[in-house]
A = this chain, B = another copy of it.
Amino acid sequence: MDTAIICPRFESAISLLSQRWTGLIIYQLLSGPQRFSHLTDVIGISGRLLSERLKNLEAQGIVTRTVYPETPVRIEYELTEKGFSLKPVMDEIQNWSQVWIDPIETK
């Protein structure tokens, strides 16, 4: 019985990225702090799910939420160091996609 077990830390990390939208949110935030409505526009996610995902990412220390009490209120989401350090992962996904994904079928 070759019961080679998968590294729990890897499993935890991949379960984060396996959650729908999470990878895209992090990727998008790599280009700097952004507000809620901008994220919905650019990513194409609904407010309901974006709200849920951002709360989750905040709870995991990947994203911070900052309130600017202007009018109307401005709230910005930004990657923490932990979040930003996912850049090499995103870069490799980008690299792979440039080589292997046909731009015509793009899903």
A67 interface residue per 8 A CB criterion: no
With a CB–CB cut-off of 8 A, which chain B residues contact A12?
97, 101, 106-107
Tally of contact residues, A, Cβ under 8 A: 48
Residues A22 and B13 in contact in the complex (CB < 8 Å), given A85-B99, A94-B7, A106-B8? no
A92 interface residue per 8 A CB criterion: yes
A57 interface residue per 8 A CB criterion: no
Contact in complex: A8, B43 (CB < 8 Å):
no
Residues A42 and B6 in contact in the complex (CB < 8 Å), given A23-B14, A89-B89, A92-B92? yes
- The distance in angstroms between the C-alpha atoms of A21 and B91, with both chains bound, is 21
Report A's interface with B, CB cutoff 8 A: 2-15, 17-24, 27-28, 31, 38, 41-43, 82, 85-86, 88-89, 91-101, 103, 106-107
Sort A-B residue pairs by CB-CB distance and give the 9 closest, nearest first: A13-B97, A9-B97, A8-B106, A12-B107, A9-B101, A89-B92, A14-B23, A88-B92, A12-B101
